[in-house]
Amino acid sequence: MSSGRLTGRSALVTGAGSGIGAATAEVFAREGARVVVADLDKAGAAATVERIRDEGGVAEPYAADVSDEAEVEALVDFTARTFGGVDVLQNYASNRGVVAEDVALAGADASAWARQLGVDLMGCVFTAKYALPHMLRRGGGSITNASSLVGWLPLESRPAYATAKAGVIGLSRSIAVEYGRQGIRCNVVAPGPIVSPGTEGMYTAEQTEVLAEHMAAPRLGRPDDVALAALFLASPDAAFINGHVLVVDGGMSAYAPMVPSFRRLAREE
């Protein structure tokens, strides 16, 4: 069901060839936005665009590496030329290829850190840098960047990922403060565990069970859960919301750490 909340808007979604980014591009197109579906993975971007067009939506695929400033400049330029401007920017690109190298800090590898920060953080910097002038020209715009629960509740491993995702919050709030009076809103979605191609194989069956145990919800998350939160933030309904971090985690961060143990003890009594 669409209520046309983004009708007439030109949207750029990065990481839109898979998972949450793809779901966001689809939801936004359903709500009337014309969407540039950007991803390093050309085939993934093309598949998302095909699904959008099958539903009668308007979208164009674009292959770009968001960690490369010149490629991002060309991507934003393409969006502005194709759809007449840039009103909405959504950043979901994430470098999953670094996972195995993102180890405890004593073994930190500078190249792995650079690649993680390059995509997950600098991708947000570059896209905003080039999209902001277009938004300002039209009197405003909305940016949403993907952080993660891991940005402030780190797992035992993946310090570079946690740092990138914490940085996304600082960056987004800086943009909100710096440009808010000129009509720019910049918010953050911070997902908990969402079942997506990006998390496939990341957790063992036992670990998935532990995750489920820590949900204040009957299931793990789905890409649409985040896409619909992002839709709210990008829509006029959120006109007075800026610099906000919207946690989409099925209540996971509301959990006191001892609750699952208490539950287990209660079952054993």
CB 121, min distance to ligand NAD, A: 10
Instruction: For residues 246 and 59, give the distance between their C-alpha atoms in angstroms, rounded to a whole number.
Output: 26
DSSP-assigned letter for residue 258: T
Residue 260 burial (C-beta neighbours within 10 Å; 0-12, 13-18, 19+): middle
Q: Decide if residue 21 touches ligand NAD (CB under 6 A).
A: yes
**Pick 56 or 201: Cβ nearer ligand NAD:** 201
Q: Decide if residue 250 touches ligand NAD (CB under 6 A).
A: no
Q: If you search the block for the tokens 């959990």, which residue do you land on?
A: 255
Residues numbered 63-122 forming contacts with ligand NAD, rule: CB under 6 A: 65-67, 92-96, 119-120
Q: If you search the block for the tokens 């190298």, which residue do you land on?
A: 101
Collapsing DSSP to helix, strand or coil, 113 comes out as helix
CB 32, min distance to ligand NAD, A: 23
**Pick 141 or 191: Cβ nearer ligand NAD:** 191
Instruction: For residues 69 and 82, give the distance between their C-alpha atoms in angstroms, rounded to a whole number.
Output: 20
Tokens of 138: 């039209």
- In the list 12, 13, 36, 146, the residue contacting ligand NAD (rule: CB under 6 A) is 146
> Active-site positions?
161
- In the list 5, 9, 13, 19, the residue contacting ligand NAD (rule: CB under 6 A) is 19
- In the list 197, 238, 244, 245, the residue contacting ligand NAD (rule: CB under 6 A) is 197
Candidates 52-60, 62-70, 106-114, 130-138: pick the segment binding ligand NAD (CB under 6 A). Answer: 62-70
Query: How many helices, marked H, and strands, marked E, lie in the chain?
Result: 9, 7
Q: Binding residues for ligand NAD, how many (CB under 6 A)?
A: 30
CA-based R_g, the chain, Å: 18
Cβ atoms within 10 Å of 81's Cβ, excluding its own: 9
List contacts with ligand NAD (CB under 6 A).
Answer: 14-15, 17-21, 39-41, 44, 65-67, 92-96, 119-120, 146, 148, 191, 193-194, 196-199
